[in-house]
Structure 1
Amino acid sequence: MKNTIVGVDLAKDVIQVCVYASKKVQSNTEMTHHEFLEWLFTSSSTTVVFEACGTSNYWKQKATEAGHAAHLISADLVSKIRQNQKTDKNDALAIVQASMLPDISFIKGKTIEQQQLQTILRLRELSVKQKTASGNQLKALLLEFNIRVSARNGGLGGVIESVLEDAENEFSAAFREALHTAWQHHLSIIKSIAIYDGCLEELVEQHEDCKRLLKLEGVGVINAVNLYIALGCADLGSFCKGKDASACIGLTPIQHTSGGKVKLGSIGRYVKNSLLRSQLITGAMAVVAQVCKRTAVTSKEVWIQQLVARRGKKIAAVALANKNVRTAFAMLTQGTEYKADPVAV
């Protein structure tokens, strides 16, 4: 079984399992989730390759628990390798073929702890979007009655409260009830965001890696969790160097090399996790803004001030975010602590 490769195409209801050994396909069968789980724990140790998709982290964890060498492979790469029409059998075979390419880079999986943190982050992100959408809708609907929301009249809450208490504005009881319900819904979304923040802070206190990442400039709870999920532990990481992780996040210039000529452009506009890059740059921008207002006390702050003087605050923020990712990668892989060097007197 050492030379056997098993390609697994995951679906909601069924799982396609392609077994490749002795230079030919031994079987390519469909299994239920229960049958596949039983197969994992009854089969001899082998290499099992999953297409990275929904539930792939769970099945990778189960395959590893059963003693197999489990890997995740890019769905985009599998689609390029697939030779015939898209079927479950062809997908499972393409997974096997893609896994045998030279210098293949597998996708790292997530631990249960990382999945929990990611779930809370996703719930928080959705609530933040809902809060913005709900607030904008209330402001726009009130504007239809020429009721304008501003900080001088108490903001959205103050305006809605005055509308509900004003008995002479000719609004019906049904309209007042609907407006009150919409406002309570908006408040419940705000409350849910606070609850998610509290859950993240509680979990960060339980993770030593996340707590150490909080010492980096411009890295708060959310950025610490994002870096922990993106970079992971040393045995799970798919990056060899910190610069590879930074390039994957989209914090390095795009390189186009041809005929021995190297051209470096701007950072990529389109990346897979643009929200992570945005949050890292936002945190770094806050640090840059504060450092420019006072005397530098660390060598990194001196570097930031010099970079701002040469290239401006925005480029300095991107450079700081890039440096934070590289430092975080070194901290997670080597188990080291971060301590800023003071300015030499």
Structure 2
Amino acid sequence: MRYYAGLDVSMAETSICVVNEEGTILREGKALSEPEAIATWLAELHVPFTRVGLETGALAGWLAEEMIELGVPGVVCMDARHARAAMTAMTHKTDRNDARDLAQMLRTGWFREVHVKTRSTMELRTLLTSRKTLVLKIGDIENQIRGSLCLFGIKIGSSKRRTFAERVRDLTQNLPRVAMILEELLTAHAAMLHSLDRINRMVLVIAREHEVCRRLMTVPGVGAIVALTYIAAIEDPARFSKSRSVGALLGMVPRKHQSGEVDRNGRITKTGDSEARSMLFEAAHVMLHRVKSWSVLRAWGVKLAGRQGNKRATVALARKIAVVMHRMWVDGTTFRFSAAGNPSASARA
């Protein structure tokens, strides 16, 4: 007899449902959302589990990795979007019902398994997202100060980030009360700039030591942030039998709707890793508009922009860059600007 356990995870507790291969519920209950507590709850049944599944979420990667280390058999992480679509017909949504449905999906095999990233990859992702948060918050503070000064008819104009505080202090010399208020924001601004510098140094150290990152950075428009974000999203290039499959994973392929006589393509799906997709769009924009050196890849993008416009060309070029970077990663090669032996000339997005 085969047994399947569905886990509906929340921050505090996890609802668990165990069914056999005939779909009969063996046991239901709750356990703390801790790997040891869940593993103990399952072990009390003394049955051989074929699959133990949970949806993707904030705790999913950590729980899955820890339960595997604790010896829980058949742990899989299920695509939450796919599982949600399967449960849309449910009229009463509760944690217990969700766990039941997940267990039945595991039994029937009607689920999509998601790759669970390693701890080192999650550490890299945490570094990159922390950097992005600081960049956004620094921009928010600067915009708040600019908007506040506009109330008094003061226009900062263009100013470099490093000289922004000095510029504000010069312009508010005749407004002591305003200067006193904004000084608190400028103090936070300076502290965030210092933290951003430290994180940037961490990123550069990792980029210098990461051999794959250095090779990917040979692509025009791809810097350390883009390369490391791409590496964190893909993690293992062997997961893809074809390089062009990377575009679908990152949500950069058109939607497809075919039914009867209707057959049309829509906008890109925008599924998968949004950070990697955003970074690739930036790299494509830089390659199209800032990079001066000629390459087969850039020539392809410029020609496409002439036919379909810059927006579509940027999306297509971003997908092409993702495919080329995967091929370089697999082959252990660097970017070649000429057509001869160039992976960008042969890879198809």
- Smaller-chain TM-score bracket: 0.7 to 0.9
Q: Given the two structures, how large is their TM-score scaled by the length of structure 1?
A: 0.82
SS at 2:29 equivalent: strand
Structure 1 counterpart of 2:268, one-letter code: I
Q: Could you list the per-position Cα deviations for residues 20-51 of structure 1 after superposition, in whole angstroms to 9, with x for gaps in the alignment? A: 22412211121232422445788656421111
The residue number in structure 1 matching 2:149 is 142
Q: CA deviation at 1:58?
A: 0.7
The residue number in structure 2 matching 1:36 is 38
The residue number in structure 2 matching 1:285 is 285
Q: Distance in 1 between matches of 2:339 and 2:331?
A: 25
Q: Distance in 2 between matches of 1:73 and 1:306?
A: 41
Q: Distance in 1 between matches of 2:150 and 2:316?
A: 42
SS at 2:176 equivalent: coil
Q: Distance in 2 between matches of 1:115 and 1:185?
A: 28
Q: Distance in 1 between matches of 2:321 and 2:82?
A: 30
* 258-267 or 9-18, larger mean C-alpha shift: 258-267
The residue number in structure 1 matching 2:254 is 253
Q: CA deviation at 1:121?
A: 2.0
The residue number in structure 2 matching 1:217 is 220
- Once the two structures are superposed, the pairs formed by residues 183-262 of structure 1 within 5 Å of their partners are 183-234=186-237, 237=239, 241-259=242-260, 262=263
SS at 1:50 equivalent: strand
Q: Which runs of 5+ in 1 are unaligned?
A: none
User: Which of the residues 83, 100, 106 maps onto 1:93?
Assistant: 100
SS at 1:109 equivalent: coil
Q: Distance in 2 between matches of 1:322 and 1:28?
A: 45
Matched, 1:72 2:77: yes
Q: Distance in 2 between matches of 1:284 and 1:152?
A: 26
Structure 1 counterpart of 2:318, one-letter code: A
Q: CA deviation at 1:276?
A: 3.4
- Once the two structures are superposed, the pairs formed by residues 1-345 of structure 1 within 5 Å of their partners are 3-23=2-22, 24-32=24-32, 33=34, 34-38=36-40, 46-67=50-71, 68-82=73-87, 83=90, 85-101=92-108, 104-151=111-158, 156-163=164-171, 166=173, 169=174, 171-172=176-177, 175-234=178-237, 237=239, 241-259=242-260, 262-268=263-269, 271=271, 273-291=273-291, 293=292, 296=294, 298-332=295-329, 334=330, 336-340=332-336, 342-343=338-339
Q: Distance in 1 between matches of 2:85 and 2:75?
A: 22
Q: CA deviation at 1:139?
A: 0.9
* 274-283 or 154-163, larger mean C-alpha shift: 154-163
Q: Distance in 1 between matches of 2:91 and 2:308?
A: 51
Q: Distance in 2 between matches of 1:230 and 1:30?
A: 33
Could you say what the CA RMSD is over the residues aligned between the two structures, in angstroms? 3.1
Distance 1:159 1:117, change over 3 A: same
SS at 1:197 equivalent: helix
Q: Distance in 2 between matches of 1:13 and 1:335?
A: 45
Q: CA deviation at 1:204?
A: 3.3
Distance 1:148 1:92, change over 3 A: same
Q: CA deviation at 1:312?
A: 4.2
Q: Distance in 2 between matches of 1:91 and 1:257?
A: 31
The number of residues matched between the two structures is 331
SS at 1:263 equivalent: strand
Contact 2:82 2:112 in 1 (8 A): no
Q: Distance in 2 between matches of 1:123 and 1:246?
A: 25
Contact 1:8 1:50 in 2 (8 A): yes
Q: Given the two structures, how large is their TM-score scaled by the length of structure 2?
A: 0.81
Q: Distance in 2 between matches of 1:214 and 1:221?
A: 7
Q: Distance in 1 between matches of 2:75 and 2:322?
A: 27
Distance 1:76 1:134, change over 3 A: same
Q: CA deviation at 1:186?
A: 1.2
Distance 1:275 1:228, change over 3 A: closer
Contact 1:139 1:156 in 2 (8 A): no
Q: CA deviation at 1:8?
A: 1.3
